Structures are given as structure tokens and as C-alpha cells.
A and B are shown apart, each in its own frame.
Chain A
Amino acid sequence: MAVVTATTAGREAAAPPGDCLAANEWICGEYLRTRSQELVDATLQHVGITAASVLLGLVLAVPLALLARRGRRAAGTVLGLTTALYTVPSLAMFSLLLPLFGLSAAVVVAGLTLYSLTVLVRNVLAGLEAVPEEVREAARGMGYGPAGMLLKVELPLALPAVTAGLRITAVSAVSLTTVGAIVGHGGLGNLIYSGMKSVFRAEVLTASVICVLLAVLADLALLGLQRLLTPWTRPARPPRARRVPRRDAAAPPAKEAV
């Protein structure tokens, strides 16, 4: 790698003024220009791993939350297990999954999916349990069966809690993906890792900053999605607030559509 030689201490002192790559500066426009493809590839891998794990986590969290709803004991078991998973440090988690998936992105996706269950199961459960009993009764009276009730009444009403969980999960998944560098699939973490090995400051700092930006973007995007999907949770304007005194009694749009 040319960069490794260009960033060794010997070259640093002799670096011509204005050449930030040779001077191994933290912020380097030349690095952004010459390595933009590498940065884009790493960012895409990062987003892909994060998105896959959060979506997979959500798909698994709903049935687990339904299982936990069946009683105190089931809830204790499911929540206890998913909380214990969160206790395992990421480096150990990826290492434990290594024999199952080999050196692949699947190790990272599986590990992050397991982490995401901790918050997602809890929030889906909390969202479902917060559905007012009157709403359930009204839905039953309108002829909803258990499946219809879940899909068209309960899950839509649980959306604020679910999206709140998704925001936490996505932000921590973005940050944890970097540790995937240990198996060579860490998105921007790969650049941080190689920058660490070759003491390449611009590479480490740039990848770290993009990573934080990705986390903030994911948070904002999911906040936007939540606002879009759950218009009834937005604080009503003052004159309307008087007409709808209890926001938790407001009906979800999905229900009115039937």
C-alpha cells in the first residue's frame, strides 16, 4: 500500500508543505478526493449491514413480543434472555458466531440482530400493552378476529413505541457495525482498522466522522418515518387540542379505512 509508506514517521518530517497526505494530517481533502470510491463502498457496506440487522431484528421481535404477552413467566423468560444477549460484548458476540457463519458479513448481521432484540422486543411489547382496552373492545365489536386486530388495530397503535425502539437500535447498530472489522466486514470500521494499522490519521478520522453522521441520519430518518406513520401522536394545534382531549383514544388511520 502506497499510503503506508507515505505516512511513516520518516516521511512526515520531510513532507512538502501543502501535501496533507504525506504530512499525515487528520483532516485531508486530498484523501477525500483520491479515496472517495473506497469511502463510498465502505459506507454502503455499513448501511447494508445495519439495515439488514435492524429489519431482521424487527421481523423476529414481533413474534417474540407476542410470545412474551402470553403471561408473566413467558415475559420474564423472553425479556431476561434478550437482556442477557445485550450484556455480551460485541467482540465476543461476533467471535462466538464465527464458527456458525465463518468470516462473512452474516456474523456481523446476526450479532447486531441479536442485540437489536433487546430493545425491540421490549418496545413492541410495551407498545402492544399500551393499547387501551376500550379500543380492543370496539374493534372486537366491529368484528375483528385476533389476526385482524393485531395487524390493523394493535400494531398500528404500538407504532410510536416500536419506532422509538427502532431509533435506539439503528443508532447503536451503526456504531457497533465498526467492530465487524475483526471479521473484515465492518463497513467504515474496516477503514478505521486499516487506518489504525498503518497509522493513517485522515482515514481513521474521516471514517469515524461519517459513522457518526450515519447514526444521526438514521435517527432523523426514523423520526421522520414515525411522524409520517403516526400523525395522531403529533401535538395537536391549540384550537384542535380542545376538540380531541385524549390523544390515546384517537383512532389509527388503518382502522378508519375498513
Chain B
Amino acid sequence: MGVLADTWAWLATASHWTGPDGVWTRLGEHLYLTAVCLVISCALALPAGIVLGHLGRGGALAVNISNAGRAVPTFAVLVLLLMSPLGTHGQWPTVVALVLFAVPPLLTNAWTGMREVDRDAVLAARGAGMSGGQLLRQVELPLAAPMVMTGVRSAAVQVVATATLAALPGGGGLGRIITAGFARYDTPQVVAGAVLVAALALLVEGVLALAQRSADPLRRTRPTPVPSLPDNQTGR
């Protein structure tokens, strides 16, 4: 197929990788945005989800926030933020949008993970005289860790996807290669950009899946699970 060969030729051209519009610059922007926004989102959502789950409160919020996140188009939020007063502040509209869409999977999974901790384990810990804080740190959190990590994984994939879309209203990142390709009617560049974005998303997902496996304290006692259901993810 001609397109495949042309895409390969685009990727094999050294000048496409260097310079201010090059792949390395765009990849750097993408990774930087992803990392910063993921850290901010985790700092906001994980403590909230873990404490609410520990207390058994806020279930309606924790569940519905994911549904809301799915119903609201990421593209619309990106454009609305850009056109709001925040839009004149550089990268901030993108950062806010990325954080907004990363919070729901983090909060929902952290809350669900805490609630799904075996009640017998919790009762035994209480019977052994553990305080609320000890229970949270020594029993609930380790047992909830796999679900919390599922949330981090969903959120990371979400952030990578949203950061790609941020190129439509003119943000940085690998999405810019795609939008620039569209602007020039350059299909090989569009496809090459898409290949890079898809590879990055799959790589992030794969690395975090491995991290998740090592975060599961019971992994040796469980059969290999089928891939987890991404139904708490929001838009792509």
C-alpha cells in the first residue's frame, strides 16, 4: 500500500525528528504535560478517594463523577477553556482540561478499591486493636492498591489521549504532528503522527500494567486476570 510506504518514509526522514516542530520536541512536550498533569491529578484525587472510601462516604460522587466525565466531550472542554479568561495563560487551559479528565477514573477506582477490601479483614484488624489510621495504612491501602493502580493506569491513558486532542485548539504535544498534517493535506504525516501517538499510548498502558502487577500484594495467589475492564474511563 502506498500510504504505508509513504508513512514509513516520513518516519525515516531525519529532519522530521529534529527542530522546534520535530518529533522529539513534540514527544517531550507530550511526556512533560502527561507527567505533570498525572501528578497533579493523583495529588488531588487519590487522597480524596482513599479517605472517602475509608469512611464509606461520598459513594454517589465517586461513582457519578466517572459517568459525568464520560458524557462531557473532552474536545468541547478544551475549546471552552481556551476561550474562557484562562485561555490567555499559556498552557493552563490544557493542564486544567487534562486534570479534569484524569480525576474521575482516579477517584472512582480509589473509592471502589477501598470499599471492596474484604470486610472480614477490616473487622479482624479492628478486633486486633488497630486505630482508624493504622487500619487505613496497614490493611485497607495495601489491599486496595491494585484497584488504585487500575485508576492510575486509566488516568494515564486518558491524559495521553487528552493531551493529543489539545493539539486541535493549538496546544503542544504529538497531536500537533497530526493536525499539522491535516492542515497541509499531508496524509503520510497524519498517519505517521497517529502511529507515534498510538505507540506512546500503548507503551504507557503496558508499562503501567507491569507496575500494577508488581503493586498487587496477592499476585502470587491469584490466577492471571483477564485485562481489566476500562468502563470507568472517560472519553479518549
A and B: interacting chains: yes
Q: Confirm or deny: B178 has a beta carbon within 8 angstroms of a beta carbon on chain A.
A: yes
Residues of B in contact, count (CB < 8 Å)? 48
By the criterion CB–CB under 8 Å, are B79 and A196 in contact?
A: yes
**A residues within 8 A CB of B235?**
90, 172, 175-176
By the criterion CB–CB under 8 Å, are A182 and B179 in contact?
A: yes
Q: Which of B21-29, B105-113, B167-175, B211-219 is the contact stretch?
A: B167-175
> Which of B73, B82, B229: most chain A Cβ within 10 A?
B73
By the criterion CB–CB under 8 Å, are A216 and B71 in contact?
A: yes
> Which of B168, B175, B191, B234: most chain A Cβ within 10 A?
B168
By the criterion CB–CB under 8 Å, are A192 and B179 in contact?
A: no
- Picked from A84, A89, A171, A181, the residue with its CB within 8 Å of the CB of B161 is A89
**A residues within 8 A CB of B67?**
171, 219
**A residues within 8 A CB of B178?**
91-92, 95, 182
By the criterion CB–CB under 8 Å, are A91 and B165 in contact?
A: yes
Name the CB-closest residue of B to A24.
Answer: B83
By the criterion CB–CB under 8 Å, are A118 and B75 in contact?
A: no
By the criterion CB–CB under 8 Å, are B75 and A178 in contact?
A: yes
Q: Confirm or deny: A64 has a beta carbon within 8 angstroms of a beta carbon on chain B.
A: no
Within 8 A of B (CB), among A75-109: 75-76, 79-80, 83-84, 86-93, 95-96, 98-99
- Picked from B71, B72, B169, B236, the residue with its CB within 8 Å of the CB of A196 is B169
By the criterion CB–CB under 8 Å, are B73 and A89 in contact?
A: no
By the criterion CB–CB under 8 Å, are B73 and A175 in contact?
A: yes
> Which of B3, B195, B197: most chain A Cβ within 10 A?
B197
By the criterion CB–CB under 8 Å, are A99 and B187 in contact?
A: yes
Within 8 A of B (CB), among A88-144: 88-93, 95-96, 98-99, 115, 118-119, 122
Main secondary structure of the interface of B (DSSP, over half): helix
The smallest beta-carbon distance between A121 and chain B, in angstroms, is 11
Main secondary structure of the interface of A (DSSP, over half): helix
Name the CB-closest residue of A to B223.
Answer: A72
Given known contacts A92-B164, A175-B71, is B227 in contact with A87 (CB within 8 Å)?
A: no
Q: Which of A15-23, A204-212, A236-244, A247-255 is the contact stretch?
A: A204-212
- Picked from B76, B157, B161, the residue with its CB within 8 Å of the CB of A178 is B76
Using CB atoms and an 8 Å cutoff, list the residues of chain A in contact with chain B: 75-76, 79-80, 83-84, 86-93, 95-96, 98-99, 115, 118-119, 122, 168, 171-172, 174-176, 178-179, 181-182, 189, 192-193, 195-196, 199, 201, 204-205, 207-208, 211-212, 215-216, 219
Taking A96-B194, A99-B187 as known contacts, 5 extra A-B pairs with beta carbons closer than 8 A to each other, sorted by chain A number, are A83-B230, A175-B73, A175-B235, A179-B75, A208-B73
